[in-house]
Chain A
Amino acid sequence: MFLNKKKRKPVSKKMELPSGVTYGQTVAKVLKYLNRYRWLFFFSLLLAVAVVALTLYLPILIGDAIDLAVGKGKVDFDGILSILVEIAVIAAVTGILQWVMNVCNNKIAFGIVRKLRQDAFEKIQTLPLSYIDNHPVGDTVSRVITDVDQFSDGLIMGFSQFFTSLLTIVGTIGFMLSINPTITAVVVLVTPLSLFVAAYIAKKTFNLFKEQSEIRACQTSYIDEMIGNHKVVAAFSQEENAINTFDEINVKLEKCSLKALFYSSLTNPCTRFVNNLVYAGVAFAGALICIASGQTALTVGALSSLLNYANQYTKPFNEISGVVTELQNALACVSRLFELIDAESQIPDSEDAHELSWDEVDGKVAIDNVSFSYTKDKELIKDFNLSIEKGQRVAIVGPTGCGKTTVINLLMRFYDVDSGKITVSGYDIKNLTRASLRKSYGMVLQDTWLKTGTVRDNIAMGKPDATDDEIIAAAKQAHAHSFIRRLPEGYGTRIGEDGGQLSQGQKQLLCIARVILCLPPMLILDEATSSIDTRTEMKIQNAFATMMKGRTSFIVAHRLSTIKEADIILVMKDGKIIEKGNHEELISRQGFYCDLWNSQFQTVEDNKQE
């Protein structure tokens, strides 16, 4: 019943989640996760029934006990004692059952949450790069962490309150009916008032809350901007202006928050007032019935039980209205996670995909009639042909943002070509396992990413079983050894998130050492030395030269001197390959490359003229 109700209620309201899926669809998915815990869940439901029944039964017992102590000389001590023992035992049992129920609920909720996160994380590993490139990291992280947390809170609340509240309402009505139908009628008729009041307030405050969260979002993004770039703000002495603008938003927020907070906090006093009315009503009707019937139709003890019920009865109503909002919120949150989990994965490696071994890699790479674009409406690479022999060096040049990385995305199969094919050692890369294809390239990217962990772990990433000597040798070759040695704990120094205290250049040296250590048969160096000063770079170039000997390599750089030696130079502009050839050919063509090449000498010539 509980599940049906949960499902039916929102759907009947035709409420839609932000993503456009209905609550029903989301609930169905949640139920699939719940299925693993179905027995525990039923057990918890049974416990809830028992707990509610016992909780409601206690006031009757207490009423009975009170009825055995009517007045002077009219006290049945033996009767009272046996009831008291019964009360104590039932209270203890209820307490234990309640605890077990809570623990079960936690186990279910936390278990589901864990599985959700696990699925989400595993999903991320198979998502196409296009998804990851197009979704801000913060957004995905907040889906996996914050949204799931919200969901877990809602789920626990739903388990612990929704069901027990419903049961309590039904149970209370039942027990009250068994004591006195007239008074029950009074309670049942007045209570809906509190629901009505709560709903009215919720409706009124909804817009205020919406406004508040809009102002808050605006303030947060201002904070983000001004605090995140505080150094620039300080450099231009703009602190006072920033504070003034901030205060403007702050005052707006204050006004709106005050209203939202005040109106929303009216719910409790108002429902409590209705509760008090119910209480007075029960006392009134009860007392009159007691008097009229001379305590036969209703005893004082029974009346006190009824009063107790009247108190308990309105509480679940308030709770349910709270839980419904919470559940709506929880479903909205989890549906954001499902968006991630249900996102389309990259096409998996086919069953018979070939496992490319290093021995097979002969360094021949052919790009055959390839077309590619990130979005349908903007064509980037069209009918691109290139054949690379073993050990050749391919350089890709062009202004910033011209799409040099696109070629690498295709080679590494981070993105799949739209048409045509790329072959490595004669194999179409689509017929290779991604893992073996990527393993045959050593890659250093401009974006220097390091893992939280020690320096050693990071260098050994591609070869976890490397010995210390090998690691140090690789670090020396990458000219990273000297700075690593100066770190507080040398190779055992832990690197924080995103490289922590290391400078951009140092991070890049580590990334280079990482590739030097495992040294695959082909290389991709994407602006690999962009953050390293030219002097160190020159030293590294020597290391690169040794590395590149006999290895097919792809080099992206904007420092032209580093690519002059390349066998093939691809010149890119606005995402397209506009020129192709070696240095001499391109210079003699007097085209875009030639302009680029000349521009770097201008000052030298200027200086000479002076």
Chain B
Amino acid sequence: MKYLLKYLGKYKLESFFAPFFKLLEACFDLIVPIVVKSIIDVGIANGDNAYVVKSCILLVALGVVGLVCAVTAQYFAARAAVGSVTGIRHELFSHLQRLSYTETDSIGTSSMITRMTSDINQVQTGINMTLRLFLRSPIIVFGAMIMAFTINARSALTFTVLVPVLAIIVFGIILAGIPLYRKVQSKLDRVTAITRENLSGTRVIRAFNKEDDEIREFDEANKEHTSVQNFTGKITALMNPLTYVCVNLGIVALIYVAAPDIDNGSMTQGELVAMYNYMSQILVELVKLANTIFTVTKAVACGNRIQAVLDTPAGMEIKRNAEKTGADCGINCPAVEFKNVSLKYRSAGAQTLSGIDFSVKPGMTVGIIGGTGAGKTSLVNMIPRFYDATQGEVRVFGKNVNGYELKELRKLIGIVPQKAVLFKGTIRSNLKWGKEDATDEEMWKALEIAQARDFVEQKDGKLDAEVKQNGRNFSGGQRQRLCIARALVSRAPILIFDDSSSALDYATDARLRRALASLDYSPTVFIISQRTSSISHADMIIVLEDGEFVGKGSHEELLESCPVYKEIYDSQFMGATR
């Protein structure tokens, strides 16, 4: 709620005027029964036609004023709701953009997207409803009670019993309903999960003839959902009948209490009608309130979920005063240096990397190889500081990575991620991600090195060819080569290829490697691969197993000294030598 209020605070005037005009409208609504009372007690009792006409004109006038107030209130409510939600949406998106990998991992993509879309829309409806209706109803209920007291205090005592009873019923059912609705939702989530899983695993399910089991499982979840839904329905369906009965019992009590007063002349018939009208108004308002309350509580739940995300600290701490050992060591200073580095992911039980120690001179090519889950990607992810070392330090050009501004650090590094992702736009707009002001010439050069020139040239519009979302109008290999080009455009002094040739056939992969070797500047290159052929030319090869170093050296050295490396090599080339 904190951020919510912060943004609503920017619309103070609106947030004030919306309920204020609602209040005015409610007041005019509350005057109506009084006017009717006077029509009965004065107009009808005295047979005064002119008085009736005047009073009815007053009723219409009240209606007009009420309409004006209501429209004004709606306008301010809409402005406050839409305006503040636009602000929250901006804040949330910016916040999500600034999250570090660790936080992104722990929140999860799909829940971030839900926060950004349906949750926020729910909040907008909630704010709007609150400003418009939520405040109106209590005003009418209490206003009606107060008005009743001004008419006849003794009879009005019935209101003081009725209102608390109604409040207990309404809030009791809501309090009982909220956890039940949550339960319904979680049962529905299960139904959703089974459906999604079934669809994505159709082939396996059919291969194992599991269709019937799946149907059974789904039926069970479906049935559970329905029964919880029915139970919840039984409770919440009590709201309207109960309030209806109570209000009518209230009317019974009112007439019962008022009758002696009328008999002894301390109360008129018109006053009784007025009080009866107030009770009816209370009923109408309660029905509206009940309908809005669920919307509002839902909105509060959504707001809290958004809040939770906003509360996760964004970004990483930058240690500006970090010591710059050898900051002036220039070219002699290692491009990348790991000093006894360990990494443990937040949710993981064991360390992903431990005791990593190496140093890379500028211009060197480093190959990283190892089994699945050996920690290869984790290792390179620490260079652009996607994750922070839990122990030890990572240095880039002599300076601890947490001493860099993230932007400044990441500018030094061109990275080709494992998953080839392109963004909606054009080839040009994608390549510009690497370098904002890249010229056509630079782009073509990068494309050529990345072995992508041929197919880009064949595209309509060439550099301006359309790229659909996620680059789905390109094949896997094409996407990967475009991603490589994107990383090359910036001519960054450090290049990281995270298993980025996996979608390329051997021939293209080999051509790419040759092109990289002939670059007109000498960047430091990290290549992660499963294929020894892709890294055997490297100046240094790091062999990882279960997050630890098991070998470091050149291809030939490792074949001699590192049994793990030899095994990998043999597995790929045994029986392949002609």
Contact = CB atoms under 8 A, between A and B. Distances in A.
B240 interface: yes
B555 A607 contact: yes
Dominant SS among interface residues on chain A: helix
Given A229-B421, A533-B372, A607-B555, A414 B93 contact: no
Contacts of A291: 43-44, 47-49, 52
Contacts of A113: 226
Interface in B346-361: 347, 349-350
A66 B267 CA distance: 12
Interface residues of B, number: 168
Interface in B33-85: 35-36, 39-40, 43-44, 47-49, 52-53, 55-56, 59-60, 62-64, 66-67, 70-71, 74-75, 77-79, 81-83
Nearest to B51: A287
A550 interface: no
Contacts of A237: 406-407, 410-411
16 contacts: A72-B263, A94-B241, A110-B226, A117-B222, A124-B195, A221-B469, A269-B74, A273-B64, A443-B203, A498-B197, A505-B373, A506-B373, A533-B568, A601-B576, A604-B536, A610-B537
A4 interface: no
Nearest to A58: B248
Contacts, number: 452
Contacts of A488: 349
A147 interface: no
Contacts of B3: none
A277 to B, nearest CB: 6
Interface in B149-207: 188, 191-207
B397 interface: no
Contacts of A141: 192, 195-196, 199
B390 interface: no
A287 B505 contact: no
A543 interface: no
A129 B202 contact: yes
Contact of A503 (B199, B280, B373): B373
Given A237-B407, A272-B70, A70 B223 contact: no
B386 interface: yes
A35 interface: no
Contacts of A58: 248
Contact of B417 (A87, A235, A272, A303): A235
Contacts of A23: none
B203 A414 contact: yes
A466 interface: no
B332 interface: no
Contact of A257 (B82, B195, B537): B82
Given A95-B245, A137-B199, A230 B533 contact: no
Contact of B97 (A243, A279, A497): A243
Dominant SS among interface residues on chain B: helix
Given A227-B109, A229-B421, A600-B533, A246 B384 contact: no
B214 interface: yes
A541 to B, nearest CB: 8
Nearest to B47: A291
A297 interface: no
Interface in A484-532: 486, 488, 497-498, 501, 503-506, 531-532
A396 to B, nearest CB: 15
B280 A434 contact: no
A228 B97 CA distance: 11
Given A103-B234, A237-B411, A287-B40, 18 more contacts: A71-B269, A99-B238, A111-B226, A125-B211, A229-B470, A235-B386, A236-B415, A265-B74, A273-B70, A284-B59, A307-B36, A438-B206, A447-B203, A451-B197, A501-B347, A505-B371, A599-B505, A599-B506
B283 to A, nearest CB: 10
The 5 closest A-B CB pairs, nearest first, are A505-B372, A276-B63, A72-B265, A269-B70, A91-B248
A18 to B, nearest CB: 21
